[in-house]
Amino acid sequence: MTAIDDLSSQQFYHGTKANLKPGDLIESCDPPNIDNQEGMATHVYLTPNLDTAIWGAELAVGEGHGRVYIVEPIGPIEVAPELTDQKSPKHLSMSYCSHEPLRVTGEVTEWTLYHGTRADLKPGDLIEPGYRSNYGKQTKAAYVYLAATLDAATWGAELALGEGPGRIYIVEPTGPIADDPNLTDKRYPGNPTKSYRSQDPLRVTGEVKDWPGHSPEQLKAMKNSLERLKQLGIKAIED
């Protein structure tokens, strides 16, 4: 593992199902969501990436809702070892660890909502259901989709139909939203991508201009996976 010299100005997050308050300490524990490995239970994990912390919260062992805390390490931190042997595309895993506890300084309770597409939109425009799905479904989509993780919106932008560049918009729902059943509990428990859908329009409030795309290998693996589902006749859940 590689020691980190200075990340003192970086904000860090920790995802868990524990009910904590500012000032509480998060002690070292077993690696999240994998079998115990010798010599690794002395670390506590953290990340500067909010999406990653959301995955950690949803996949954490325990009952109740996943929670994301803002934390500060009280000792040195290191680059975390690879936690899983997942095949590409991998889910996000907390990327740093420490032998010392983390101190809780706050909790993330408000989320920015995103929609990935190739449509050219501007603030105030409405994204409405009733159009052909981004993913090649021939019938009109009964829902419009959104997510609270930038990673999920990135997939939406990269896999969307159309010739233009992928775009990620910041949106606000104009009606109720619910977990997207096409993703929720399908492969991972809970809703680790924080993906939702609504039968009411989404209003565009802004655009994310600089977002990191997935690697060509990840895109190829995802497209292959979608093609396998298509060949198996597995369709989106619309009810």
CA distances from 194 to 105, 146, 213 (A): 23, 9, 18
Domain 12-107: CATH superfamily, name plus number: Rifampin ADP-ribosyltransferase domain (3.20.170.40)
Rounded to 10°, the helix 216-231/150-159 angle is 70
Residue 181 contacts by C-beta under 8 Å, 6 or more apart in sequence?
237
Q: What does the pLDDT profile of the chain (239 residues) look like in tens digits?
A: 444 545 667 899 999 999 999 999 999 765 454 444 444 457 899 999 999 999 889 888 888 889 999 999 999 999 887 654 444 445 567 789 999 999 999 999 999 999 999 999 999 999 998 765 555 455 567 899 999 999 999 999 998 888 889 999 999 999 999 999 888 877 777 888 899 999 999 999 999 998 988 888 888 888 887 777 666 555 565 65
Question: What is the C-alpha to C-alpha distance for residues 153 and 113, in angstroms, rounded to an integer?
Answer: 9
Residue 111 contacts by C-beta under 8 Å, 6 or more apart in sequence?
148, 194
CB crowding 66-105: b at 16 or more within 10 Å, else e: bbbbbbebeeebeebeebeeeeebebbbbebbbeebbbbe
Domains 12-107 and 114-231 share a fold: yes
Domain spans in the chain, listed from the N-terminal domain onward:
12-107, 114-231
114-231 folds as ADP-ribosylation fold (3.20.170)
Structure-token match 């939203």, residue found:
177
pTM of the prediction? 0.78
Q: How long is the chain?
A: 239
pLDDT digits (tens, 9 = 90+) for 177-221: 999 988 887 777 788 889 999 999 999 999 999 898 888 888 888
Evaluate whether 71 touches 121 at the Cβ level (below 8 Å).
no
